[in-house]
């Protein structure tokens, strides 16, 4: 195994999109940021030097950080932010990990512009489970705002309302011809007729799940969240923010210029918004005309069936140790809460963040970020920064056993707190994530740090333990799962990586509203079961 060194300078850069200029925060003035390349079991050392006024951290999304929780990156969970002028060096190993992942800032809404791909190749000589294609390309989906994204979070929380929809969706940073002034600001792949391509698709959007499709070309899914899947051929994909999917696509259509499109998925029936998609080109070499042979057709933004079809088809190629026995059986509700208060009544202040009307919670507890890092507080036994009494009380009216679908839970007043749940080393955990579905209009893509988990079940309505069919044979092994609106997902993992691990909705606004919690996984007995000491240069809060 080898060690790879990277330097990430956090720098602002002037950028012009849709004929408007602004400064964005980037890594090394590259947008989207530089790609981390490695091989399975390689060690990576990334020195992050913050040359901006913004507090920064970098999270290596989906990297399981085996015994390296200190380098996971979520601000106030495993580290204090890297302040202006400071630096911090991340060191971790891709232990038994290969595939496509992403890195992104994990403080405020900085990841709106600070994100990039991670590509981990199999060890030399280890073949892919499919014929290695002619060429590969990275496709990072994003959202772009003319306003400063960090400011948007502040303004949104201060207003108590919802954040503005992005000014553009982007493919590798490019909005494409559907947007003003962007006919030439478009990403393009040149393809050789007859050849097969591997596309590493990453959803780095802040607040939106997205569909992706290529006109007239089939996509064969071979990997999801950096784990091989049984090959599964579809016309389109849906990726939650944080998810990655590798597909094979063969240029087997008449020579021409085809469009690739990405656009929003939102399961709400009664939401309307301008459904403008980002376009890129999939252009055959030898194509002489400049007009599109065929335009990509995205599903309707609320096409839940399309999403279910994709989810149902995701199966692990080689599932390793799916936990068949459970010793820790958890049930967490997730959802948005409308606080019982009214903005026209200033005396009755709302308990959403900054007195807002909307809060978001797990088991009715809206997470408040602490002033220090939880991991440091836990490791050094500094009291007073968090409590270990999660899960609290799930909403009482929520009758999940009898499965009355979407009976409205009495969760209009969530509690605020920095609550964690302690897991014994080696616990075999089943966690049912149940969306209460009362307010929210979209899936909650729940992401767990430090682990991948098997998604053993998935459905609409309320989880019913008597009826739910679980797949313990070949469930997909993911790090982020879009829990359907008013529906549920069942995940399983073995808590064998000690540390403090954040779990949250990967829609940034929901995280701002408190839809998160943290697990503390205790040390086991052996050296390989114990979190090492922190590095000497941890940033200070």
Binding site for ligand C2O (CB under 6 A): 59, 61, 74, 104, 106, 242, 447, 449, 502, 504, 506
Distance CA 179, CA 280 (A): 12
CA distances from 112 to 109, 151, 369, 386, 477 (A): 6, 11, 20, 28, 26
Burial 167-189 (b: 16+ CB within 10 A, else e): bbbbbbbbbbbbbeebeebbbeb
- From the CB of 449, what's the least distance to ligand C2O, in Å? 6
Distance CA 184, CA 279 (A): 11
CB nearer to ligand C2O: pick between 26 and 471:
26
CB nearer to ligand C2O: pick between 104 and 236:
104
Tokens 């698709």 belong to 201
Could you tell me where the DSSP H helices lie in 355-488?
Answer: 374-379
- From the CB of 104, what's the least distance to ligand C2O, in Å? 6
- From the CB of 346, what's the least distance to ligand C2O, in Å? 34
CA 356, 361, 364, 365 torsion: positive or negative? Answer: negative
CB nearer to ligand C2O: pick between 213 and 243:
243
CB nearer to ligand C2O: pick between 265 and 502:
502
- From the CB of 36, what's the least distance to ligand C2O, in Å? 14
Distance CA 320, CA 90 (A): 28
Give the β-pairing of 219-224 and 209-214. Answer: unpaired
CB nearer to ligand C2O: pick between 49 and 204:
204
CB nearer to ligand C2O: pick between 100 and 277:
100
DSSP string covering 149-209, please?
HHHHHHHHHHHTSPPPPPSEEEETTB--TTSTT-TTS--EEEE-TT-EEEEEEEE--SS-E
Distance CA 24, CA 14 (A): 6
- From the CB of 79, what's the least distance to ligand C2O, in Å? 13
Length of the chain measured in residues: 541
CB nearer to ligand C2O: pick between 153 and 185:
153
Rounded to 5°, the CA angle 264-266-272 comes to 90
- From the CB of 294, what's the least distance to ligand C2O, in Å? 34
Rounded to 5°, the CA angle 203-302-31 comes to 20
Distance CA 84, CA 25 (A): 12
- From the CB of 242, what's the least distance to ligand C2O, in Å? 4
CB nearer to ligand C2O: pick between 75 and 430:
75
Tokens 């007195």 belong to 355
- From the CB of 244, what's the least distance to ligand C2O, in Å? 11
- From the CB of 223, what's the least distance to ligand C2O, in Å? 18
CB nearer to ligand C2O: pick between 78 and 337:
78
Q: Of all residues in this chain, which one has the CB nearest to ligand C2O in the complex?
A: 61
């Amino acid at each position: 195994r080898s060690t790879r060194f990277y330097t990430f300078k956090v720098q602002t850069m002037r950028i012009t999109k849709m004929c408007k200029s602004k400064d964005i925060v980037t890594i090394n003035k590259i947008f989207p940021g530089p790609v981390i390349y490695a091989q399975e079991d390689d060690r990576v050392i990334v020195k992050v030097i913050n040359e901006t006024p913004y507090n920064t951290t970098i999270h290596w999304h989906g990297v399981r950080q085996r015994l390296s929780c200190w380098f996971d990156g979520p601000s106030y969970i495993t580290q204090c932010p890297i302040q202006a002028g400071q630096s911090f060096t991340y060191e971790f190993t891709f232990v038994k990990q290969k595939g496509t992942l992403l890195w992104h800032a994990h403080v405020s809404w900085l990841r709106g512009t600070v994100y990039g791909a991670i590509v981990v190749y199999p060890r030399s000589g280890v073949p892919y489970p499919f014929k290695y294609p002619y060429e590969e390309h990275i496709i990072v989906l994003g959202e772009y705002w003319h306003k400063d994204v960090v400011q948007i979070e502040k303004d949104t929380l201060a207003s108590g309302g919802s954040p503005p929809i992005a000014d553009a969706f982007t493919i590798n940073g490019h909005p494409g011809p559907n947007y003003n002034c962007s006919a030439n600001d478009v990403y393009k792949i040149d393809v050789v007729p007859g050849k097969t391509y591997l596309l590493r698709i990453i959803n780095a959007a802040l607040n939106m799940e997205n569909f992706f499709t290529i006109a007239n070309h089939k996509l064969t899914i071979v990997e999801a969240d950096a784990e091989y899947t049984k090959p599964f051929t579809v016309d389109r994909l849906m990726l939650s923010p944080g998810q990655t999917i590798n597909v094979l696509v063969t240029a087997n259509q008449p020579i021409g210029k085809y469009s690739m499109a990405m656009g929003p998925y939102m399961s709400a029936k009664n939401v309307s918004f301008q459904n403008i998609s980002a376009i890129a080109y999939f252009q055959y070499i030898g194509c002489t005309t400049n007009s599109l042979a065929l335009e990509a057709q995205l599903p309707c933004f609320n096409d839940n069936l399309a999403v279910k079809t994709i989810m149902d088809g995701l199966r692990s190629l080689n599932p390793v140790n799916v936990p068949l026995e459970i010793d820790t059986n958890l049930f967490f509700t997730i959802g948005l809460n409308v606080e019982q208060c009214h903005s026209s009544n200033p005396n009755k202040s709302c308990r959403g963040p900054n007195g807002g009307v909307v809060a978001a919670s797990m088991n009715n507890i809206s997470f408040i970020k602490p002033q220090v890092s939880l991991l440091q507080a836990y490791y050094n036994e500094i009291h007073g920064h968090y409590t270990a009494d999660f899960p609290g009380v799930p909403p009482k009216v929520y009758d999940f056993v009898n499965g009355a679908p979407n009976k409205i839970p009495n969760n209009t007043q969530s509690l605020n707190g920095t609550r964690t749940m302690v897991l014994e080393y080696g616990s075999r955990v089943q966690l049912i994530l149940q969306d209460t579905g009362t307010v929210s209009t979209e899936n909650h893509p729940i992401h767990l740090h430090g682990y991948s988990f098997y998604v053993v079940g998935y459905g609409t309505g309320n989880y019913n333990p008597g009826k739910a069919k679980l797949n313990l044979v070949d469930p997909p092994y993911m790090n982020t799962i879009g829990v359907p609106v008013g529906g549920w997902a069942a995940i399983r993992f073995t808590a064998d990586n000690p540390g403090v691990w954040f779990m949250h909705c990967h829609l940034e606004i929901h995280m701002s509203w408190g839809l998160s919690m943290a697990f503390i996984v205790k040390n086991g007995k052996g050296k390989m079961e114990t979190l090492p000491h922190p590095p000497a240069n941890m940033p200070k809060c």
